Amino acid sequence: MQDLQPCLKEKDMPRLPKYAVIQKWLSRQIAAGTFARGEQLPSEHDLMAQFDCSRVTVRQALDNLRRSGMIASQRGKGYFVSRLTAIQDLQRLQSFGEIMAPLGVDTFSDVLDIDEREASGDVAEALKIGAGTRVTRIERLRIAGSTVVSLDISFFPIDVGKRLTKLDLEKEDIFVLLERQLETELGFADLTIDIAPASVRQASLLGVKPKDQLLRIHRLTHDTTGRGIDYERIYARLDAMKFHARLGRW
Q: Which residues sit opposite 79 in a β-bridge?
A: 73
Tell me which residue of 111, 175, 160, 119 sits closest to 140, measured CA to CA.
111
- Can you give the pLDDT at residue 241? 81
Do the domains 86-244 and 10-81 match in fold?
Answer: no
User: Percent of the chain scored above 90 by pLDDT?
Assistant: 62
Assess whether pLDDT exceeds 50 at residue 42. yes
- Residue 165 burial (CB < 10 Å; 0-12/13-18/19+)? middle
10-81 is classed CATH 2.40.50.140: no
User: Which residues lie closer than 8 Å to 14 by C-beta, 6 or more apart?
Assistant: none
Residue type, 10: E
Compute the average pLDDT of residues 11-18. Answer: 66
User: Which residues lie closer than 8 Å to 57 by C-beta, 6 or more apart?
Assistant: 18, 19, 22, 48, 51
Give the model confidence (pLDDT) of 55-68 as tens digits.
Answer: 999 999 999 888 87
User: Distance from CA of residue 34 to its chain's centroid?
Assistant: 19
Q: CA 147, 148, 149: angle at the middle one, nearest 5?
A: 105
Tell me which residue of 75, 59, 61 sits closest to 27, measured CA to CA.
61
Domain boundaries, the chain: 10-81, 86-244
Most confident of 5-19, 31-45, 134-148: 134-148
86-244 is classed CATH 3.40.1410.10: yes
Assess whether pLDDT exceeds 90 at residue 2. no
Q: Which residues sit opposite 133 in a β-bridge?
A: none
Count of beta carbons in the 10 Å neighbourhood of residue 47:
23
> Per mean pLDDT, which range of 81-85, 117-121, 135-139, 235-239 is the poorest?
81-85
Q: Model confidence at 74, in pLDDT bands (50, 70, 90)?
A: confident
Give the model confidence (pLDDT) of 19-34 as tens digits.
Answer: 999 998 998 887 667 8
Residue 93: half-sphere exposure toward Cβ, Cα within 13 Å: 19
* Rounded Cα distance, 18 and 14, in Å: 10
Give the model confidence (pLDDT) of 185-227 as tens digits.
Answer: 999 999 999 999 999 999 999 988 999 999 999 999 999 999 9
